[in-house]
Amino acid sequence: MISVRGARPARARLAALGAYAPERVVTNAELASRVDTSDEWIVTRTGIRERRFAAAGETAGDMAVAAAEAVLASAGVTASQIDMVIVPTGTPDAMFPSTAALVADRIGAHDAAAYDLSAACSGFVYGLAQAAALVEGGMARSVLVIGSEVLSRVTDQTDRGTCILFADGAGGALVTADEGGTATGFLGFDLGADGSGGDDLVLPASGDREAVPGGPVPASGCIRMDGPAVFRFATRIMVETTERLLAALGLGIGDIDLVVAHQANSRIIDHAAERLAIPRERIFNTLERYGNTSSASIPMALAEARDAGRLRAGDLLLLVGFGGGLTWGSTVVRYEPLGAEVPA
Ligand code: UT7
């Protein structure tokens, strides 16, 4: 892409959504046949009944391509119009080339710049923040943000503390410039990171301290998580970031049409709903059927909410991500789709 400074400032518009879920359904019963757990424990402690696993050889890049194509189809926008592809992921096909570069090529976004973004389960909201800033700074007019994960491949399937949670999928959004238009766009963001809690949720990578020169890449390392510590962080931060952002915007929870939080554990969302007095019907969850898909969970849920008729053009959304880093990110944005298929 080429950007000429001084372009007219524009509102960044949340213009389209799309998602992809791999076919293979893995039920709690299947996990209970492998590790010492039960459907009852998993449902009560997490809200998850089943999740999807990618097929052998299916990568985050493959799933991101499917989600990106769904986003473009929903917007009626062609790939040649895309200036930037951002792929938040913790499970890229490789450290380089970036998964985003592969996706841009495969969807035909040949003029796009592309990069991956590492912010774990907050990645999608971080990606939206970057997309909004790029558009409003006049740097780009159309940005695809596609969260995609193959967590099944980096989860120890014999560890009952993690294998019940993490799963695969992809979802994304298109952020476009609305120059001189009527879009309200992104009202604000609250992003943060606290690396002092980094050890609570770790997925080792090629630069691991244990790696030796010329030795094998420790990419076989699986996710290590102190579940209760992350749980405490998540319950606290989901409430704090929401309160902080709404106060900064001068809004109350009653102004929000739909809340979509990172799908980590239904108990985290229930806790926040109670503390923030969010009515049940204003929360949309997909945990039951997809588990925790990290950076993909919020856009997968958004696309599903739209398809289920729970998301309407003009709705004010509160999106909240939290996870490894430890990181968090929330935004309030109006959904202003370009496509014609969404009822107003
Ligand atoms: O996406 C990034 C953010 N990630 C999260 O937000 C995850 C946050 N953490 C969690 O969701 C929860 O901590 C878990 C679902 C991972 C675990 O639930 P918990 O209620 O925190 O359980 P716990 O780790 O405190 O363990 C309670 C008991 C233990 O047994 P004892 O020591 O009380 O006898 C565990 O060994 O439950 C046991 N346990 C299990 N039992 C059956 C732990 N995992 C399982 C299991 N099945 N899968």
d(CA 102, CA 28): 34
Task: Give backbone dihedrals phi and psi of 83, rounded to 5 degrees, phi first.
Answer: -90, -25
Instruction: Tell whether the model's pLDDT for residue 316 goes beyond 50.
Output: yes
Average pLDDT over the chain, rounded to whole? 94
Q: Is 196 left (phi over 0), alpha (psi -120 to 50) or beta?
A: alpha
Give the model's pLDDT for residue 217.
63
Nearest residue by C-alpha to atom 23 in ligand 1:
228
* SS3 state at 224: strand
CA separation, residue 218 to residues 116, 159, 207, 210, 275 (Å): 20, 19, 8, 8, 41
Residues making up the chain, counted from first to last: 344
Q: What is the C-alpha separation between 186 and 294, in angstroms, rounded? A: 22
| pLDDT digit string, tens, across residues 129-158 | 999 999 999 999 999 999 999 999 999 999
Residue type for 271, please? H
Residues in CB range of 12: below 8 A, 6 or more apart: 131, 132, 133, 135, 136, 175, 176, 177, 178, 185, 186
Q: Where are the domains of the chain?
A: 12-177, 186-334
Determine the pLDDT at residue 340: 56
* CATH code, 12-177: 3.40.47.10
Q: Hey, which of 45, 118, 151, 157 would you mutate to test ligand 1's pocket, going by the most ligand atoms within 8 Å of its Cβ?
A: 45
Q: Give the per-residue pLDDT at 298.
A: 98
**Does the structure show a pLDDT above 60 at 342?**
no
Q: Answer yes or no: is the C-beta of 61 below 6 A from any ligand 1 atom.
A: no
In this chain, the answer to whether the domains covering 12-177 and 186-334 adopt an identical fold is yes
Taking alpha carbons only, the member of 297, 301, 259, 308 closest to residue 280 is: 259
The CATH number corresponding to 186-334 among 3.40.720.10, 3.40.350.10, 3.40.47.10, 3.20.20.370 equals 3.40.47.10
Between CA 157 and CA 165, with CA 163 as vertex, the angle to 5 degrees is: 160
Distance 281 CA to ligand 1 centre (A): 27
The 8-class DSSP code of residue 122 comes to G
Minimum mean pLDDT among 182-186, 264-268, 321-325, 329-333: which range?
182-186
Angle between the N-to-C axes of helices 39-46 and 266-276, in degrees from 0 to 180, rounded to the nearest 10: 30
> Which residue, judged by its Cα, is nearest atom 41 of ligand 1?
37
Task: Please check the confidence at residue 344 and state whether its pLDDT lies above 50.
Answer: no
Task: Specify the residue for token string 């944005």.
Answer: 333
Closest residue by CA, ligand 1 atom 43: 161
CA nearest to 18, candidates 93, 96, 103:
103
Q: What is the pLDDT of residues 62-77, one digit of tens each?
A: 999 999 999 999 999 9
